[in-house]
Chains A and B, each alone.
Chain A
Amino acid sequence: MTRYVLDVVTERCTGCMKCVYACSWVKDRVLDPDHARIKIVSKGGIVLDVTLCRHCNPAPCVEVCEFDALRVKEDGTVVLDENRCTDCKACRSVCPFGAITDSGGGMLIKCDLCGGDPECVKVCPHNALIFRPVVSQYPNIGGKSVHSVRELLEAKER
């Protein structure tokens, strides 16, 4: 089975928010950043980061979830079963990316790559989001293949 990753090229992001609104609309039928699985972190109009799930494998959130609510699907997507989640927040404590968030009322949400056809990628006018099949099974950041969460963090910090 082909696996896909979603790469973010933060430098290209202008903070236009199209991806954010598209995500909240597709997922929850509202136009509300709290309901978006992708977040743009900016300060004083400058985009610092785009946060979304990197679908780590092995995934920290999956390892600590005791409620059987998080799992890695066969295609590598890390998905959250909202019916099993009780909002204990253990996953949020270990996610290095802050990619699991609360849409209000303690209902946790995260990116599921729209089942393989991510809306955010389609609406991004600046090619800041790139959805591509994985050649190696590891994500690519700045031209380097990244093999663990630790390397991913280091790569992002550079």
Chain B
Amino acid sequence: MDYVIIGGGVGGLYTAYYLLKEGVPGERLHIVTQEWPPYTRHRLGEILESGSPIDNAYLGIVPHLKRAGVEFIISRATGLDPSEKKVIIDNGKGISYDELIISTGASPFIPPIKGVHLSNVSTFYDIKALEELIKVKKSLRITIIGGGLVGLAAASALRRRGHRVIILERLPYLLPTVLDEFPARILSDYLRGEGVHITCGEEVKELVGGKRAQYVRTNSGIRGTDLVILATGVRPETKWLEDSGIELGRGAIKIDRRARTSLSNVHALGDAALSHDYITGREVYRPLGFIAAHYAKVVAKDLTGDSRASKGIIPTLYERVLDVHIIRVGLSMAEASSLGLSSEVFCDKTADRVECWVKEAGGAKLGYELITKDFVRRNKAWDVYTDIRDTFA
């Protein structure tokens, strides 16, 4: 029995890790990946910020997988033929599988505006982008388009490196997929206090310049810039599956509670796939590393005879931006509402922190949000997590 894994990011590698743990021999595992060595994106911001070695990003389980005999095929998958049970790779060759696991992740979304291909416009998504930004020594005016987790990770690092950073967010507040408006506004206040410029509710229309972008034009004005970072979200990396007949939803691979796809002998996980929300059971697209790892375990178990269904994900997010800590557990009011739940958010604010509880009309806790400049000690995230876990079990 040969297991072929496409994608050497956290989803792919931890699937191999868990398959080994379940007793599958390493020689039966083949990982096709276009990037080498495999790394975690989760440390890109911290490495840029602290100037620590890029090696910190390399995944520590790789030596273990190699010792176990796992094969790494450095190549790009370009197509899937499910009737022949074959994956086509970029040299035209086919790789046969008994079981296929797809974890090709996502790629940065590039907004359809003029100027995004100018030479000083980049994303913050991979080692290459990290290396480029490390090279920038003199202090620049950097415009970050998008105030999500990736935009803020870049902002934190670049501000610490001495750049003048401005974040442009199209929606009315920062971290719109993570936080509700009140805590997000407090977060903005804190970050402004640390010298980050933040403009919400402005949409970028064009990057203006000859070879390099010199100005950013929005719906309300024009600003000078030396460098632009696009942090406008990601899209599932599923184009290569177009002719395979695999079922997609919003561009991501649809999976069931065992991470099985619509094709037999094909599982999928991570940023390439949808996942399930614990509270509502609904399908969601949440490109997060711990979700990829959750399903890596689900896939490995399903393939080795333990076909228990995943109960889905209770989000557990932590991010530090400069000296501000951000925690979100469960749902925000905004995400709850997008999943069809009506709720209210109750916040408690002191000088150095704001703490919010999201509650359903009936009183059940759905989520928790914390923004603090203080230590994160004595937070109530675990309380809320266990409430959610037990109430919606």
Contacts and interface: CB of A to CB of B under 8 A. Distances in A.
What secondary structure prevails in chain A residues at the interface with B?
loop
A51 B328 CA distance: 21
Contact of A106 (B21, B56, B290): B56
Nearest to B319: A89
Contact of B381 (A87, A93, A105, A150): A93
Contact of B50 (A84, A89, A95, A105): A105
A149 interface: yes
B382 interface: yes
A49 B377 CA distance: 9
A49 B379 CA distance: 14
B262 interface: no
Interface in A73-100: 82-90, 92-98
A81 to B, nearest CB: 8
B294 interface: yes
A96 B381 contact: yes
A87 B40 contact: yes
A40 B316 CA distance: 26
Interface string B357-393: 0000000000000000001111111110100000000
Nearest to A48: B375
Interface in B9-36: 10, 14, 17-18, 21
A68 B10 CA distance: 12
Contact of B43 (A87, A97, A150): A87
Contacts of A104: 46, 50, 52
Interface stretch (A13-21, A59-67, A111-119, A134-142): A59-67
B392 to A, nearest CB: 16
Nearest to B328: A93
Contact of A51 (B52, B289, B377, B383): B377
Contacts of A93: 316-318, 327-329, 381
Given A83-B64, A88-B288, A89-B318, A67 B293 contact: yes
A107 interface: yes
Given A98-B377, A104-B52, A105-B52, A88 B385 contact: no
Contacts of A88: 10, 40, 42, 288-290, 293
Nearest to B377: A98
* Contact-size category for B: 35 or more
B17 A68 contact: yes
B279 to A, nearest CB: 16
B43 to A, nearest CB: 3
A39 B318 contact: no
A97 B377 contact: yes
Contacts of B59: 86
B305 interface: no
Contacts of A89: 42, 317-319
B53 interface: yes
B60 A51 contact: no
Contacts of A157: 378
B67 to A, nearest CB: 12
Contacts of A98: 375-377, 379
A94 B316 contact: yes
A94 to B, nearest CB: 5
B382 A92 contact: no
Contacts of B234: none
A41 B56 contact: no
A92 B53 CA distance: 23
Nearest to A92: B318
Contacts of A12: none
Contacts of A92: 318, 327, 376
Q: What are the 8 A-B residue pairs with the smallest beta carbon separation, nearest first?
A: A105-B52, A106-B43, A83-B60, A106-B46, A66-B293, A93-B318, A92-B318, A98-B376
Interface of A: 39, 41, 49, 51, 60, 64, 66-68, 82-90, 92-98, 102, 104-107, 149-150, 153, 156-157
Interface of B: 10, 14, 17-18, 21, 40, 42-43, 45-47, 50, 52-53, 56-57, 59-61, 64, 288-291, 293-294, 296-297, 316-320, 327-329, 375-383, 385
